[in-house]
């Protein structure tokens, strides 16, 4: 446990070089391990979640190495040729590792045992197990589809056409990854678009994949028994991590912060759109393509924000950003209503409940429903002064450290160690910009 204290800060200034995108990093390691030949990854996120995927891919027989120049080299085994792991795959806090690897494990003739930390062992795996069972994969889980679980895979799965019951890029990706070693065409239909990093990267590795809009949603079809070829992946800075210095810069008067090379995938930039609609001064510069993903440099200047209604349709494009949006809303003028947040209850923590409780403890009025949250903005300063339990949730920890930075009395969090799952170096990066985050009690 590492207690952290965020004291009230002044203006933030400078460049914020945010680590690599977590979603893209996981996928690069997995597809690199499934490809034939060499894959080189630059900008890989070296956070604990991604390192859990790297360790799992090594257990499955791929060579995964960090090079002297900081890039990563992967020598894959080929689709269908992963070997049975000799020990339990412990995926720590990482839901993306657990869900995406389920598809890979189920489609190889091996038996694997998968577990994780206390947070991951509470999260539902049924959403990937159900379609993977329909394909012929076998799973034994704890009650309620929870980890630890045993996967008994096969190389003779049956392709499915599966309509996603919840908008989830993890479920979509698990099915597509299982489809790689399955004869025939595997299709996923999504009624709400979710991040398409898997689709983009599968194509870059040489898979045949089509995306067709239809009346009942978008149909993504992968041609099975694919041969993936190693390639180069350039991982952009993670927009979900950029969100923390970005919101802090908007809220602290006099701030001006530049965030270079941030991923601008259309399904990831809902927060930027909402903050601009709230009055946030965010300039998008040098929009360009980096190995199949759009990236840009962001220039953020302190702004007065207005409360807003964020409809459910926006949720998938900013699903990980609601905790930090709630912090922005706390300092905005007027009410911010966020709808369609049911999925927040099954993230690393119940983010809806934890945010509502923590904001109240810091003197902010909230209203909470089953799948919505309203934050009554103060139009300026927030009291703070609370000790927040981060509940093994990196994004809760970082959100409340930003809240402490903009507050009158500061905020403490009981445990900042989960921040390393997605944003190693967060405290130093924020302090270099001008924040005052320290270890221990103030
Ligand atoms: C992710 C998808 C999202 C997101 C998670 C990463 C991914 O989860 O919350 O942090 O990499 O596919 P869901 O698919 O459960 O929405």
Q: How many C-beta atoms surround the C-beta of residue 83 within 10 A?
A: 12
Q: Which helix (H) or strand (E) holds 426?
A: helix 426-433
> Residues 30, 142: one domain?
yes
Count of structural domains within the chain? 2
Q: What is the pLDDT of residue 193?
A: 97
Taking 90 as the threshold, does the pLDDT of residue 433 lie above it?
yes
Atom of ligand 1 nearest to the CA of 320: 9
Q: What is the pLDDT of residue 172?
A: 98
Q: Where are the beta strands (DSSP E) in 302-422?
A: 309-310, 333-339, 365-368, 372-378, 387-388, 411-413
Contact yes or no for 298/264 (Cβ under 8 A) = no
Q: What is the pLDDT of residue 276?
A: 98
Atom of ligand 1 nearest to the CA of 22: 11
Q: How many C-beta atoms surround the C-beta of residue 439 within 10 A?
A: 10
Ligand 1 touching residue 96 (CB < 6 A): yes
Residue nearest to atom 9 of ligand 1 (CA): 320
Ligand 1 touching residue 23 (CB < 6 A): yes
Q: What is the pLDDT of residue 119?
A: 96
Q: What is the pLDDT of residue 38?
A: 98
- Percent of the chain residues past pLDDT 90, beyond the cut: 98
Q: How many C-beta atoms surround the C-beta of residue 224 within 10 A?
A: 20
pLDDT tens digit sequence for 79-121:
999 999 999 999 999 999 999 999 999 999 999 999 999 999 9
Ligand 1 touching residue 170 (CB < 6 A): yes
Total length of the chain: 442
pLDDT tens digit sequence for 204-249:
999 999 999 999 999 999 999 999 999 999 999 999 999 999 999 9
Active-site residue set: 320
> Residues 267, 346: one domain?
yes
pLDDT average, residue stretch 267-282: 98
pLDDT tens digit sequence for 407-421:
999 999 999 999 999
Taking 80 as the threshold, does the pLDDT of residue 442 lie above it?
no
Atom of ligand 1 nearest to the CA of 23: 11
**How far is the first Cα of the chain from the last one, in angstroms, to the nearest whole number?**
16
What is the C-alpha separation between 284 and 264, in angstroms, rounded?
10
Q: What is the mean pLDDT of the chain?
A: 98
Residue nearest to atom 5 of ligand 1 (CA): 96
> For residue 266, what pLDDT band results from cuts at 50, 70 and 90?
very high
> Residues 267, 312: one domain?
yes
User: Among residues 234, 249, 278, which one ends one of the domains?
Assistant: 234
Ligand 1 touching residue 169 (CB < 6 A): yes
> Residues 130, 203: one domain?
yes
> Residues 227, 271: one domain?
no
Centre of ligand 1 to C-alpha 328, Å, is 22
What is the C-alpha separation between 349 and 40, in angstroms, rounded?
34
Dihedral of alpha carbons 363, 367, 373, 374, sign: negative
* Structural domain that includes position 156: 22-234
Is 73 labelled as part of a ligand binding site?
no
Q: What is the pLDDT of residue 291?
A: 85
> Residues 265, 223: one domain?
no
| Strand 217-223 to 185-190 pairing | antiparallel
User: Among residues 208, 234, 260, which one ends one of the domains?
Assistant: 234
Ligand 1 touching residue 315 (CB < 6 A): no
What is the C-alpha separation between 251 and 188, in angstroms, rounded?
40
């Amino acid at each position: 446990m590492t207690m952290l204290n965020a004291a009230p800060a002044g203006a933030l200034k400078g460049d914020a070089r945010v680590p690599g995108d977590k979603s893209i990093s996981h996928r690069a390691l997995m597809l690199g391990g499934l490809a034939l030949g060499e894959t080189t990854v630059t900008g890989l996120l070296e956070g604990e979640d991604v390192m859990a995927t790297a360790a799992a891919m090594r257990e499955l027989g791929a060579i995964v190495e960090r090079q002297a120049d900081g890039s990563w080299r992967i020598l894959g085994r080929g689709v269908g040729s992963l070997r049975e792991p000799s020990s339990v795959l412990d995926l720590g806090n990482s839901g993306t590792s657990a869900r995406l690897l389920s598809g890979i494990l189920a489609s190889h003739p091996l038996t694997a045992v998968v577990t994780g930390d206390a947070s991951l062992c509470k999260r539902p795996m049924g959403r990937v197990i159900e379609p993977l069972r329909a394909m012929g994969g076998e799973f034994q889980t704890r009650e309620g589809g929870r980890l630890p679980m045993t996967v008994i895979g096969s190389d003779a799965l049956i392709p499915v056409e599966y309509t996603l019951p919840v908008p989830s890029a993890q479920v979509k990706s698990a099915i597509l990854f299982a489809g790689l070693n399955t004869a025939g065409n595997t299709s996923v239909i999504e009624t709400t678009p979710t991040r398409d990093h898997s689709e983009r990267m599968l194509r870059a590795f040489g898979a045949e994949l089509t995306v067709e809009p239809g009346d009942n949603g978008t149909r993504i079809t992968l041609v099975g028994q694919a041969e993936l070829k190693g390639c180069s992946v350039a991982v952009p800075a993670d927009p979900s991590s950029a969100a923390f210095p970005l919101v802090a810069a908007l809220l602290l008067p006099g701030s001006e912060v530049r965030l270079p090379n941030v991923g601008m995938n259309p399904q990831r930039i809902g927060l930027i759109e909402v903050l601009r609609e709230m009055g946030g001064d965010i300039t998008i510069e040098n929009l360009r393509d980096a190995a199949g993903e759009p990236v840009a440099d962001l220039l953020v200047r302190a702004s007065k924000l207005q409360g807003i209604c964020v409809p459910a349709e926006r949720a998938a494009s900013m699903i990980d950003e609601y905790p930090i949006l709630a912090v922005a809303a706390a300092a905005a003028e007027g009410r911010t209503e966020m709808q369609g947040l049911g999925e927040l209850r099954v993230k690393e923590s119940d983010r809806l409940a934890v945010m509502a409780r923590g904001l109240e403890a810091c003197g902010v009025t909230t209203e909470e429903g089953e799948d919505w949250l309203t934050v009554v903005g103060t139009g300026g300063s927030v009291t703070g002064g609370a000790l927040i339990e981060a509940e093994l949730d990196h994004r809760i920890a970082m959100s409340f450290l930003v809240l402490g930075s903009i507050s009158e009395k500061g905020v403490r969090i009981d445990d900042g160690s989960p921040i390393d799952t997605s944003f190693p170096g967060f405290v130093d990066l924020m302090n270099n910009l001008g924040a005052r985050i320290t270890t221990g009690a103030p």
